[in-house]
Protein backbone atom coordinates (compact mmCIF):
# COMPACT_ATOMS: atom_id res chain seq x y z
CA UNK A 1 0.00 0.00 0.00
CA UNK A 2 1.36 3.42 -0.84
CA UNK A 3 1.02 6.29 1.50
CA UNK A 4 0.32 9.66 -0.11
CA UNK A 5 2.18 11.49 2.63
CA UNK A 6 5.92 11.41 2.35
CA UNK A 7 7.43 10.74 5.74
CA UNK A 8 10.84 12.27 5.86
CA UNK A 9 11.80 10.89 9.24
CA UNK A 10 11.85 7.75 11.26
CA UNK A 11 10.62 7.82 14.85
CA UNK A 12 12.23 4.46 15.58
CA UNK A 13 15.65 5.99 15.21
CA UNK A 14 14.86 8.24 18.12
CA UNK A 15 13.09 5.71 20.33
CA UNK A 16 15.10 2.51 19.78
CA UNK A 17 18.16 3.56 21.83
CA UNK A 18 15.93 5.01 24.56
CA UNK A 19 13.82 1.84 24.67
CA UNK A 20 17.03 -0.17 25.01
CA UNK A 21 18.14 2.07 27.86
CA UNK A 22 14.81 1.53 29.62
CA UNK A 23 15.32 -2.22 29.45
CA UNK A 24 18.62 -1.95 31.29
CA UNK A 25 17.67 0.66 33.90
CA UNK A 26 15.26 -0.11 36.75
CA UNK A 27 14.41 3.55 37.23
CA UNK A 28 13.45 4.11 33.60
CA UNK A 29 10.48 2.58 31.84
CA UNK A 30 9.04 3.11 28.41
CA UNK A 31 5.28 3.42 28.43
CA UNK A 32 4.42 4.59 24.92
CA UNK A 33 0.91 5.97 24.61
CA UNK A 34 -1.22 4.15 22.08
CA UNK A 35 -4.05 5.81 20.20
CA UNK A 36 -6.15 5.26 17.15
CA UNK A 37 -5.32 7.49 14.19
CA UNK A 38 -8.04 9.04 12.06
CA UNK A 39 -7.38 6.26 9.52
CA UNK A 40 -8.10 3.67 12.23
CA UNK A 41 -4.43 2.69 12.63
CA UNK A 42 -2.90 1.94 16.02
CA UNK A 43 -0.16 4.50 16.58
CA UNK A 44 1.76 5.70 19.58
CA UNK A 45 3.49 8.65 21.15
CA UNK A 46 6.80 7.92 22.84
CA UNK A 47 6.66 8.21 26.63
CA UNK A 48 9.36 7.47 29.20
CA UNK A 49 8.96 7.51 32.96
CA UNK A 50 11.96 8.06 35.19
CA UNK A 51 11.59 7.49 38.90
CA UNK A 52 14.31 9.42 40.71
CA UNK A 53 15.97 8.51 44.01
CA UNK A 54 14.08 9.20 47.25
CA UNK A 55 10.82 8.14 48.80
CA UNK A 56 8.50 7.37 45.93
CA UNK A 57 5.38 8.22 47.92
CA UNK A 58 6.39 11.85 48.14
CA UNK A 59 7.71 12.17 44.59
CA UNK A 60 6.59 15.21 42.65
CA UNK A 61 5.18 14.34 39.26
CA UNK A 62 6.43 16.47 36.40
CA UNK A 63 5.50 16.09 32.75
CA UNK A 64 8.01 17.32 30.16
CA UNK A 65 6.72 17.66 26.63
CA UNK A 66 8.43 18.41 23.29
CA UNK A 67 7.70 18.13 19.60
CA UNK A 68 4.24 19.66 20.02
CA UNK A 69 5.12 21.47 16.83
CA UNK A 70 6.60 18.74 14.67
CA UNK A 71 9.41 20.82 13.18
CA UNK A 72 10.88 22.00 16.49
CA UNK A 73 13.56 19.37 16.92
CA UNK A 74 15.80 20.86 19.54
CA UNK A 75 13.29 20.14 22.33
CA UNK A 76 12.93 16.56 21.04
CA UNK A 77 16.69 16.10 21.02
CA UNK A 78 16.98 17.71 24.44
CA UNK A 79 14.51 15.26 26.03
CA UNK A 80 16.25 12.30 24.48
CA UNK A 81 19.62 13.62 25.71
CA UNK A 82 18.06 14.28 29.13
CA UNK A 83 16.95 10.63 29.38
CA UNK A 84 20.50 9.50 28.67
CA UNK A 85 21.77 11.98 31.27
CA UNK A 86 19.28 10.75 33.90
CA UNK A 87 20.52 7.25 33.29
CA UNK A 88 24.02 8.42 34.18
CA UNK A 89 23.15 10.94 36.87
CA UNK A 90 19.88 9.92 38.52
CA UNK A 91 20.40 12.46 41.34
CA UNK A 92 19.11 15.16 38.98
CA UNK A 93 15.69 13.61 39.46
CA UNK A 94 15.84 13.08 43.24
CA UNK A 95 12.32 13.48 44.60
CA UNK A 96 10.70 13.30 41.17
CA UNK A 97 8.78 11.01 38.96
CA UNK A 98 9.40 12.41 35.50
CA UNK A 99 7.06 11.76 32.60
CA UNK A 100 8.92 12.51 29.39
CA UNK A 101 7.10 12.92 26.08
CA UNK A 102 9.71 13.77 23.43
CA UNK A 103 7.38 13.72 20.41
CA UNK A 104 3.85 14.98 21.04
CA UNK A 105 2.90 15.55 17.40
CA UNK A 106 3.68 12.26 15.70
CA UNK A 107 2.51 13.20 12.24
CA UNK A 108 4.22 16.59 12.41
CA UNK A 109 7.46 14.98 13.48
CA UNK A 110 7.41 12.35 10.75
CA UNK A 111 6.76 14.95 8.06
CA UNK A 112 8.98 17.64 9.60
CA UNK A 113 6.01 19.99 9.83
CA UNK A 114 4.62 22.24 12.54
CA UNK A 115 1.06 21.05 11.93
CA UNK A 116 -1.11 18.05 12.66
CA UNK A 117 -2.28 15.71 9.93
CA UNK A 118 -5.29 18.00 9.43
CA UNK A 119 -3.13 21.09 9.23
CA UNK A 120 -3.98 22.26 12.74
CA UNK A 121 -1.73 23.72 15.41
CA UNK A 122 -2.25 21.13 18.15
CA UNK A 123 -1.10 23.68 20.72
CA UNK A 124 -4.40 25.53 20.24
CA UNK A 125 -6.57 22.43 20.57
CA UNK A 126 -6.38 21.40 24.22
CA UNK A 127 -9.45 21.16 26.46
CA UNK A 128 -11.95 22.18 23.82
CA UNK A 129 -13.23 18.79 22.65
CA UNK A 130 -10.67 18.48 19.86
CA UNK A 131 -10.89 15.50 17.52
CA UNK A 132 -7.11 15.48 17.01
CA UNK A 133 -6.03 12.00 18.14
CA UNK A 134 -2.68 13.17 19.58
CA UNK A 135 -4.43 15.89 21.58
CA UNK A 136 -6.92 13.40 22.98
CA UNK A 137 -4.16 10.96 23.89
CA UNK A 138 -2.22 13.72 25.68
CA UNK A 139 -5.36 14.98 27.44
CA UNK A 140 -5.82 11.47 28.84
CA UNK A 141 -2.23 11.55 30.12
CA UNK A 142 -2.75 14.95 31.75
CA UNK A 143 -6.01 13.75 33.36
CA UNK A 144 -4.56 10.49 34.60
CA UNK A 145 -1.36 11.91 36.05
CA UNK A 146 -2.43 15.28 37.46
CA UNK A 147 1.11 16.63 37.28
CA UNK A 148 2.64 18.94 39.91
CA UNK A 149 4.62 20.56 37.12
CA UNK A 150 4.32 20.80 33.35
CA UNK A 151 7.16 21.90 31.09
CA UNK A 152 6.76 22.30 27.34
CA UNK A 153 9.84 22.83 25.18
CA UNK A 154 9.47 24.87 22.01
CA UNK A 155 11.51 26.91 19.58
CA UNK A 156 10.34 30.11 17.96
CA UNK A 157 11.63 31.29 14.59
CA UNK A 158 10.43 34.85 15.22
CA UNK A 159 12.54 35.33 18.36
CA UNK A 160 16.26 35.99 18.48
CA UNK A 161 16.50 35.04 22.12
CA UNK A 162 15.26 32.77 24.90
CA UNK A 163 11.96 33.42 26.62
CA UNK A 164 9.11 31.60 28.27
CA UNK A 165 5.49 31.61 29.36
CA UNK A 166 4.37 30.96 32.93
CA UNK A 167 0.98 29.73 34.01
CA UNK A 168 -0.66 27.92 36.89
CA UNK A 169 0.99 28.22 40.30
CA UNK A 170 1.66 31.83 41.32
CA UNK A 171 5.36 31.19 42.05
CA UNK A 172 6.09 29.79 38.59
CA UNK A 173 8.02 32.86 37.44
CA UNK A 174 10.57 32.13 40.19
CA UNK A 175 11.17 28.78 38.54
CA UNK A 176 11.46 30.17 35.02
CA UNK A 177 13.71 33.11 35.91
CA UNK A 178 16.71 31.00 37.04
CA UNK A 179 16.09 28.60 34.15
CA UNK A 180 16.43 31.48 31.67
CA UNK A 181 19.50 32.62 33.56
CA UNK A 182 21.15 29.19 33.29
CA UNK A 183 20.19 28.74 29.64
CA UNK A 184 21.69 32.20 29.04
CA UNK A 185 25.09 30.49 29.16
CA UNK A 186 24.32 29.17 25.69
CA UNK A 187 22.02 31.71 24.02
CA UNK A 188 20.96 35.31 24.62
CA UNK A 189 17.67 36.11 26.27
CA UNK A 190 14.93 38.07 24.55
CA UNK A 191 14.46 41.25 26.61
CA UNK A 192 11.87 42.84 24.28
CA UNK A 193 8.90 44.47 26.01
CA UNK A 194 6.58 42.61 23.65
CA UNK A 195 7.18 39.04 22.45
CA UNK A 196 4.77 37.13 20.25
CA UNK A 197 2.34 40.05 20.74
CA UNK A 198 2.31 39.52 24.51
CA UNK A 199 3.67 41.85 27.15
CA UNK A 200 7.00 40.44 28.34
CA UNK A 201 9.25 41.21 31.29
CA UNK A 202 12.85 40.03 31.06
CA UNK A 203 11.75 37.21 28.75
CA UNK A 204 8.80 36.11 30.90
CA UNK A 205 5.23 36.27 29.60
CA UNK A 206 2.31 35.80 31.96
CA UNK A 207 -0.46 35.63 29.41
CA UNK A 208 -0.75 33.04 26.68
CA UNK A 209 -2.75 31.43 23.94
CA UNK A 210 -5.98 29.53 24.44
CA UNK A 211 -5.81 25.81 23.88
CA UNK A 212 -2.16 25.18 24.72
CA UNK A 213 -1.03 21.96 26.36
CA UNK A 214 -1.88 22.61 30.00
CA UNK A 215 -3.28 20.94 33.12
CA UNK A 216 -6.91 19.81 32.93
CA UNK A 217 -9.25 22.71 33.80
CA UNK A 218 -10.78 20.47 36.49
CA UNK A 219 -7.46 19.95 38.27
CA UNK A 220 -7.74 21.71 41.65
CA UNK A 221 -4.06 22.06 42.48
CA UNK A 222 -2.57 24.39 39.87
CA UNK A 223 0.82 23.01 38.86
CA UNK A 224 3.84 25.00 37.82
CA UNK A 225 3.46 25.38 34.08
CA UNK A 226 6.28 26.60 31.90
CA UNK A 227 6.59 26.97 28.15
CA UNK A 228 10.27 27.36 27.39
CA UNK A 229 11.22 28.81 24.01
CA UNK A 230 14.58 28.85 22.28
CA UNK A 231 15.28 30.94 19.17
CA UNK A 232 14.65 28.46 16.36
CA UNK A 233 17.15 29.99 13.96
CA UNK A 234 20.05 29.86 16.41
CA UNK A 235 22.63 27.08 16.41
CA UNK A 236 20.77 23.82 17.10
CA UNK A 237 23.45 22.46 19.45
CA UNK A 238 23.19 25.57 21.61
CA UNK A 239 19.41 25.32 21.68
CA UNK A 240 19.64 21.74 22.94
CA UNK A 241 22.11 22.83 25.64
CA UNK A 242 19.79 25.68 26.60
CA UNK A 243 16.83 23.31 26.94
CA UNK A 244 18.92 20.90 29.02
CA UNK A 245 20.16 23.64 31.32
CA UNK A 246 16.60 24.95 31.73
CA UNK A 247 15.22 21.51 32.58
CA UNK A 248 17.88 20.88 35.22
CA UNK A 249 17.30 24.25 36.90
CA UNK A 250 13.51 23.97 36.70
CA UNK A 251 13.71 20.66 38.59
CA UNK A 252 16.06 22.14 41.17
CA UNK A 253 13.82 25.16 41.79
CA UNK A 254 10.47 23.30 41.73
CA UNK A 255 11.44 21.25 44.75
CA UNK A 256 12.74 24.14 46.77
CA UNK A 257 9.75 26.37 46.07
CA UNK A 258 7.23 23.67 46.81
CA UNK A 259 8.86 22.79 50.13
CA UNK A 260 9.21 26.47 51.05
CA UNK A 261 5.64 27.07 49.95
CA UNK A 262 4.44 24.41 52.37
CA UNK A 263 6.18 26.24 55.20
CA UNK A 264 4.63 29.63 54.45
ZN1 LIG B 1 6.34 25.42 19.23
Calculate how far, in angstroms, residue 106's C-alpha sits from the geometric centre of ligand 1. 14
| Prediction pTM value | 0.96
Residue 36 alpha carbon to ligand 1 centre in Å: 24
Instruction: Return the pLDDT at 4.
Output: 55
Reported as a pLDDT band with limits 50, 70 and 90, residue 71 is: very high
User: What pLDDT does 262 receive?
Assistant: 63
Report the pLDDT averaged over residues 14-33: 96
Q: Give the pLDDT confidence score for residue 171 in this predicted structure.
A: 86
CA distance 163 to 231: 9
pLDDT score of 257 more than 90: no
Mean local confidence (pLDDT), 136-159 = 97
Write down the CATH superfamily of domain 11-263.
Answer: Zn peptidases (3.40.630.10)
Q: In the structure, what pLDDT confidence band is assigned to residue 149 with cuts at 50, 70 and 90?
A: very high
Where residue 196 falls (left for φ over 0; alpha for ψ -120 to 50; beta otherwise) is left
What pLDDT shows up at residue 2? 46
Q: How does residue 259 score in pLDDT terms, banded at 50, 70 and 90?
A: confident
pLDDT at 146 over 90: yes
For residue 26, pLDDT beyond 60 = yes
**Ligand 1 geometric centre to CA of 107 (Å):** 15
Average pLDDT, integer, range 99-128: 96
Query: Distance from the CA of 264 to the center of ligand 1, in angstroms?
Result: 36
Q: Residue 208: pLDDT above 50? A: yes
- From the CA of 228, how far away is ligand 1's center (Å)? 9
The ranges assigned to domains in the chain are: 11-263
Give pLDDT, residue 1. Answer: 45
Amino acid sequence: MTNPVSFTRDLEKLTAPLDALAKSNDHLSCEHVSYLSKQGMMESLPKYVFSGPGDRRSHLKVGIFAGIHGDEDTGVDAISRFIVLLNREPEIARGYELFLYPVCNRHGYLTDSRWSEDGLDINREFWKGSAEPEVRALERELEANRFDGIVALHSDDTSEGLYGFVKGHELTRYVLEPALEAAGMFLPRNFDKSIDNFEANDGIIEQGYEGILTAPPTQKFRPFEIVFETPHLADAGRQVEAHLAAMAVILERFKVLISEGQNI
